[in-house]
Each structure stands twice: as structure tokens, then as C-alpha cells.
A and B are shown apart, each in its own frame.
Chain A
Amino acid sequence: MKKEVPLIITFVAGMIMIVQYFVPHWPFSNLQQMFNNWFLIITVFALILGILNLLKNHIEKVSRRRKGWLYSIVLMTGFMIMGVAGFVWGPAEGRPFDWIYWHAHVPMSSTMFALLAFFVASASYRAFRARTAEATLLLVSAILVMMSRVPLGSYMWSQLPLIGDWIMSYPNMAGQRAIMIGIALGVVSTSLRIILGIERTYLSGK
């Protein structure tokens, strides 16, 4: 029963979701929204599990003075401050929670995002080394696309933006679509395997 019940639930839920895609009539019309709502409710309760797990790990880290335990204190302090600000004054605009969000959280997130520029540079340096024919093709395409996207490119040669557009619209688009078709089929196949109970790894099935 430990395995059969989840398999039955998966099969029924999967079939209902397939049917509701093709049947707009009630009761199928509201099923997707209803399932999404259920998922949101479960997510909210699961968040408690996540928070407990987070606190447990960091309290343990501090109590055992593990490497980097000071950072755990920073994390828990931040957690407490945001929690108190949210519960006491609410998340409305202009309140402490909102102020901390805009003046601490958003700048820190932006900083992490900005690191991407440096990582793109280092990754590009490795990828664009012309060691093989494919890497050389990648290098030439990348230079053409990059130059076509900056004013200097069109200043050097007015046709360069057209070449950049052509690369993006045809070879790049064709490649992306091929990947997308493969992904769509992979999704269908995986979904079928799960719905039909053939894929049971998630139930510890071999």
C-alpha cells in the first residue's frame, strides 16, 4: 500500500490534468487553478519546514563553533530582524520591512547579479579559445554578434548589424528550436512514465 496509493494518486491527478487541457467545460475548467491553489497552500506549510531546517543547521553551527559560525549569527540576526519588522509593522510600503527590503535586500541581490559580468568574461575567455574547428566557429560567430550589437560595429561596417541579426534569427533560432522540441518530447515521455507508474524512482522503486 505504501507504493500503490501514491501511484494511484499520481495516475489520477496526471490524467485529470491531461483531460482538463482539452476540455474547457466545468468541472475541468477550474481544476488547474484549484491544483495550483492546493500547491500554494502546501508550499506555505512546507516553508515552515524549510525555516526550521535553516535555523536548526545554523544554531548547530554556532553551538559547535564550526568554521564560519559568525556568518550564521549574521544570518539569524537578519532573519530575526526581518521577521520582527514584518510581523510587528507589516510589509506595507514605507514600513521597516519594506525599507529593509529595498535598502538591503535589493542592493545585495543586484551585487550578486552584477558578478555575472565578470563570470561571463572569464567563461568567454575559455570558450572562445580557438582550439578546435567548433570553438573557432563559436569565436567568429560571437565576435560578429557582439560587434553587431555595439555602435562601433555599425560604424566600422554598416552591414555588420544585419549579419548579427541573421546569425541570431536563423542558425541560433534553429538550434534553440531543435533543443526545445527535444525538451518537449522529453517532458511528454517523462510525464507518461511517471503517470503510468513506470518511473518509480521517486518512490524508491528500482
Chain B
Amino acid sequence: MFLLFFVLAQGVIDDVDVVNSTDLIEKSEAVHTIVQAPPTQIYTRDRANDAGGGIVVFWKKSEDDGAGRESVIEYHIYRGTEADGDFELVGTAKAGDTSYTDITTRDGTPYYYQVKAFDGEQHSSAAVSEAAYSSAQWFHTGRISMLIATILISTFVVWFINKAKRGHELYIRPIAGLEAVDDAVGRATEMGKPIMYVPGILDMDNIQTIASMIILGRVARKAAEYETAILVPCTRSIVMSAAQEMVKEAYLEAGRPDAYDADKIQYLTDDQFGYAAGVDGMLLREKPGAIFYLGGFYAESLILAETGHSTGAIQIAGTAQPSQLPFFVTACDYTLIGEEMFAASAYLSKEPLLLGGLKGQDWGKAIIIFLILVGVLLVTLGFTDVIGWLSTGQ
């Protein structure tokens, strides 16, 4: 009886063991097969305002991304050219992201996308998106506001130029720095010293350098008329070539081609502080009677202007770099602040056509002031969308 009970009891225990181990194995397999929830609502859009070759894939985050099991560490984006064909990995996006831009597409080819959540070991399942096509656009919709502004300001400029052509007199406010240009050249002449013209450290592809070259033409012509030498140290070879041409033409126009000396317009170096050292040396050796700093400047502005100040020369500066303006204001006798430098050519020549451009510019400024006031009012009243539209056109 005891033996029978032992045998039965052993059998029951074995059965229990068997059941338990099977259950454990199943549970263990279940742990391995539990994967994160997949991202849902996958859809695609052609990338906006591009030259083609881009599709944006959107999805709704996996329920385990930042919530649930919090197991998602990134999303893997797959792409195929057939809905039921092979898909290849084209990119990854980090957890929390809900979009990915594929910039390797060929325009006109249908693409299907899958997005799978990845936990470091396994991928979630994934649905396949609708077919997507990339294409190029003919207009950048994000730049509508810029287009309107450009057309408006250009219209004003052209309109005032035409008005000037018809003989209307246009009033331009006096600009002290430009009024002083002739005086500065005259002063250098009286002192028997040369003029130094520093065109900044930017290349000819910068509008400040172009504006500077235009002013150089005017200054050089005046210098030629007064028979005063003009030194132009340059930091770019193209600027040097352009400056040589400008000064040469100015001397020709003034009827003094014999006085032109190409060696006075020289290239120093492309290096910013090497240039500053070179110009400083020239300032101290040549002791010019008048110094012009007109163009694009960075940290070297104060080094140059302070050295020039120590020589006792009259200094006229102008730049469109707001961060350098305080230095010039401090160290120079006259400073053309931003737009004044661009107005210099028209102002110095007093040509009606050029003055018309300036007048149009002023009207553009008036419109911008008006828009700023309207914007402030609208935002104050709670219409904040207008800021987005003015910034991006969307």
C-alpha cells in the first residue's frame, strides 16, 4: 500500500513537473515573441519646394514609443518599388520622430514604404504605404512673401527712376559722411599726403565690396582731379583687379592717365589678420591724410581704425556689418551706417536716375515700417498666424 502510494505520488509529481516545464517553455517563447506595437497610419508626401528626388514618409508613433513598454529605440524605414516585392532599408529615425525624408528617390518612379519600430533586437510588423512619387516644383511656395516684397520694392525703385527721368527733382537727406568725402580728399591734398582706400576683406561676390568699388571710382576720380596719390591695399586678387580697373578709368576720365600707378593698388594677402598687419604697417609708414574704410569688415575693423586714428588722418568708414559699426563710429570721424554706404554712389554723383533708386528704397522702408506696425497690432490682438505667413509664406 505504501509502495503503491509512493508510485502514484511519484507519478503525480512527475506529471506536475512535466506540466510546469512545458508551461515555462511556452512562457519563455511568449516573452521572445512579444514585440513592440508597430507604427500606424503610414503615409507619404512629395517633399515640398524642392528640385525633386525627395519623399517625406509620415507615421503615427508606436504605442511602445515613450509609453506602454517604452521599448522602441528607433524606427527603420524600408522602401520598395512594388507593394509586394522586396524592401530595402533606406534610413532610420530616432524614437519620438514621426517623419523621415528620403532624398534618394528618382522622380516619376513609384515607391512603397514600410516603417518598423525597432527595440534593439527585433522589428515590429509593418504595413505598406500607398505608392508615392517624387517631383520637382516650379515655384517655392515658402517664398511668396519675399516675392511680394521684392516686386513691391522693385516697383517703387523703377517708378521713382522713371519719375527722375521725367525731370522731377528728388530730395535726399544730407549724409554727413558722404558730404565729407570731398573734404577728406582735399585735406589730404593740402597736406601733401596720399589717400588710403581699404575695400574690406570680402570678395567681389559680396554686395558690400561691389558698393565699395563703386565709391572707389568716385573717390579715385576726385583724387585724380586733385593730383593726390591713392593707395588701395586689397585682400582678394579679384578685388585688386577690379580696383585697378576702377582707379584707372577714374584717372582716364579725369584726364590724368599719366598719373595712374597700378602699383598703388596692391594685393597683400587673403589672410584676415595678415591683411590687418599689412594695412597697419602701410598706415604707419605712409601716414595718409585721409583714410576710407568702405566694404565688409570683421574683427580687423577696430585694429585698422584705431591705427588710422593714431596717424591723425581724417577717417571715413562704412560697412553693412552691424557688429562692426560701433567700432567705426568710435574710431572714425564719419561712419556710413549700413544703407548709407549703398546710397553713396547716387549721393556723390547726384545723378537723377541713381537718386530715383534711393527714393524707391525709402518708400520700401516706409512700407516695412507700416508692416511692422500692422504686425505688432495683429499679434497684440492675437492673430499670431500672420507671423508665420510673413516668415515663411505658409
Interface residues in chain A, defined as those with a beta carbon under 8 Å from any beta carbon in chain B: 18, 21-26, 29-30, 36, 39, 42-43, 46-51, 53-54, 56-57, 60, 67-68, 71, 105, 108-109, 112-113, 115-116, 119-120, 122-124, 126-127, 176, 179-183, 185-194, 196, 198-199, 201-202, 204, 206
Contact = CB atoms under 8 A, between A and B. Distances in A.
Interface size on B, as a range, is 35 or more
B327 A123 contact: yes
Interface stretch (B119-127, B133-141, B168-176): B133-141
11 contacts: A26-B51, A112-B277, A119-B303, A123-B305, A127-B330, A182-B338, A187-B207, A188-B154, A189-B157, A190-B211, A193-B354
A202 B214 contact: yes
Contacts of A42: 238
A35 B266 CA distance: 27
Q: Select the residue from A68, A179, A189, A193 with max chain B CB neighbours within 10 A.
A: A189
Contacts, number: 208
Interface of B is mostly: helix
B322 interface: yes
Contacts of A53: 237, 240, 266-267
A50 B265 CA distance: 11
A202 B341 CA distance: 16
Interface stretch (B31-39, B71-79, B359-367): B359-367
Contacts of A183: 320, 322, 338-339, 342
B285 A204 contact: no
A194 B210 contact: yes
B330 A186 contact: no
Contacts of A68: 281, 285
Main secondary structure of the interface of A (DSSP, over half): helix
Contact of B273 (A50, A109, A192): A109
A192 B157 contact: yes
B357 A116 contact: no
Contacts of A206: 253, 349, 351
Nearest to A42: B238
Contacts of B339: 182-183, 185-186
Given A60-B263, A186-B320, A46 B238 contact: yes
Contacts of A193: 157, 346, 354, 357
B81 interface: no
A116 B300 CA distance: 8
B353 interface: yes
B218 interface: yes
B52 interface: yes
A54 B267 contact: yes
B161 A199 contact: no
A183 B150 CA distance: 14
Contacts of A181: 365, 368
Contacts of A43: 203, 236-238
Given A116-B302, A181-B365, A183-B338, A199 B354 contact: yes
B357 A189 contact: yes
A178 B393 CA distance: 22
A18 B153 CA distance: 14
